[in-house]
Amino acid sequence: MKKNIKRKESLNKVIKQINTLLDKHKLVEDLVDKQDMPKQILIKNLVHKQNLSNLKKLLNDLHPADIADILESIPIDTRRIVWDLVKPDVDGDILVEVSDVVRQTLMSDMDSTELLAAAEQLDTDEIADIASDLPEEVLRDLLENLDIQNRKRLQSALSYPEGTVGALMDFDVLTIREDVSLEVVLNYLRKVQKLPDHTDKLFVVDRNSSIMGVLPLERIIVSQPETTVKNIMAMDAVLFKPEDMANEASNAFERYDLVTAPVVDAKNKLVGRLTVDAVMDHIREEAESEKLSMAGLREEEDMFSSIWKSVKNRWAWLAINLITAFIASRVIGVFEGSIEKVVALAALMPIVAGIGGNSGNQTTTMIVRALALGQVSFSNLRLLLYKEVSVAILNGVLWGSVLGFFAYLLYGNEKLGYVMTAAMILNLILSAIMGVIIPLLMNRFGKDPAVGSSVLITAMTDSGGFFIFLGLATLVLI
């Protein structure tokens, strides 16, 4: 029936219903908290219980990923209420889906037995994802309860650092031999019944588990049953090694439109597989954490985190900016004599510094992107510098003249106008050179240029802008 096909709107409706029920629930709790009348207790007993049972029903019809989403979007106290209502048999799936901060708040409400029960519902690669949040004794019990193969897998998954293919891969590999017929393969699959999620191909291995090729499901379907695997398997699959960088793997998934890919060790032995959903999660997480770290936030902060946690999360960035601002302030300090004589300098200097910072950050953004696309090499470094400096000079002449003219109009001092224009041009040139060089140097020294460049550029263009403007003014005007 048509109406059985699930539409997204219906999900949003359910989420709204849940939020309404939660609001009602809190309302009742607040009432009871505020006034201790028997009538309120009655309301609590009747309405409250009905609310909770409605909530429970709604929640348990949802996909674990949707429950995870709801848990992310509500404050800590309400989160506890919802978490208690969720059926224990999806606890594990939800813990895998939520973010690290939310997982920690949820786990803090669970005892070891509950945690162990939740973790035992999971695949080895999923256990590895949440392992760092599990108490040591739970992880130990878990390892003891696993069979040898899975224990080995879990240990290997835990051994690969975040950001590698090894940390993203799972172990749901279906392998076949190359010398059997499709009929045999089909019989095998009918015995297995449920193929692992995202299975678009089977992995063909020899008796040492070395990969020989891959057999897309499509070929199984469109070929005659008597065909031998060897004759129809593909031998040009994209392979990954566990120690490959996850970013490279996600580029390959995008480039070749992959759904799954085998992961092999140095001896070509199949150790796991990478799926497009793990890759997509990785891309999203990378983009998220880059955005946060560009503003000096670590990803562990959640909107509902405590004030104290937020202060700690943000202080390092503010401290760094404080130091650079302090240095810029000392540059101004050197020229206090000039400012005392021509006080207009104080009002005009932040403009020169500010526009330099904006322009430098534009250049850096371009360079960071070009680095990611592999467009930057030493052979075109000169080309790049030439272009950025030219753009800076053009912008400097354009905006510098506008500003110089305004400065002249405001203060009636022609020379001040020229100083303004010249300082703008020079500071934009400085910002262009720094905007090219800083991300390249950071990249060269293995730092992520997207994250730290902005502070460095701003520090340079602030101090540099003040120095250029006040220095020129001292030479020309004083």
Residues near 348 by Cβ (< 8 Å), separated by ≥ 6? 407, 416, 420, 469
Interface residues for a second copy in 339-398 (CB under 8 A)? 339-340, 343-351, 353-355, 358-359, 361-362, 364-367, 369-370, 373-377, 379-380, 383-384, 387, 390-391, 394-395, 398
Phi, psi (deg, nearest 5) at residue 259? -110, -45
CA dihedral 64, 67, 69, 73 (to 10 degrees): -160
What tokens were used for 470? 């006040």
Interhelix angle 64-72/100-107, nearest 10 degrees:
90
Residues 287-326 as x/- pattern, contact with a second copy by CB under 8 A: xx-xxx-xxxx---x-xx--xx-xx--xx-xxx-xx--xx
Return the CA Rg of the chain.
31
- Residues 458, 361: contact at Cβ < 8 Å? yes
Q: What is the rounded distance in angstroms from the CA atom of residue 235 to the CA atom of residue 431?
A: 51
C-beta neighbour count of 374 within 10 angstroms? 7
Interface residues for a second copy in 226-245 (CB under 8 A)? 235-240, 244
User: Which residue lies nearer to a second copy by CB, 17 or 45?
Assistant: 17
User: Which residue lies nearer to a second copy by CB, 193 or 226?
Assistant: 193
Cα–chain center distance at 252: 19
Q: Say how many residues touch a second copy, by CB under 8 A.
A: 140
- Give the C-alpha distances (Å, rounded to integers) separating 67 from 14, 97, 98, 320: 11, 9, 9, 39
Interface residues for a second copy in 135-194 (CB under 8 A)? 186, 189-190, 192-194
Is 279 a residue that touches a second copy (CB under 8 A)?
yes
Query: Kind of pairing, strands 201-205 and 270-275?
Result: unpaired
What tokens were used for 18? 């849940």
Interface residues for a second copy in 242-271 (CB under 8 A)? 244, 248, 252-257, 259, 268
User: Which residue lies nearer to a second copy by CB, 142 or 364?
Assistant: 364
Give me the amino acid identity at 443.
Answer: N
Is 433 a residue that touches a second copy (CB under 8 A)?
no
User: Which residue lies nearer to a second copy by CB, 141 or 388?
Assistant: 388
Interface residues for a second copy in 395-414 (CB under 8 A)? 395, 398-399, 402-403, 406, 410
CB of 112 to a second copy, least distance (A): 30
User: Which residue lies nearer to a second copy by CB, 115 or 214?
Assistant: 214
CB of 371 to a second copy, least distance (A): 10
Give me the amino acid identity at 296.
Answer: G
Is 54 a residue that touches a second copy (CB under 8 A)?
no
Interface residues for a second copy in 70-89 (CB under 8 A)? 72-75
DSSP state of 132: G
CB of 43 to a second copy, least distance (A): 21
Piece of the chain touching a second copy by CB under 8 A; list 104-112, 139-147, 211-219, 439-447:
211-219
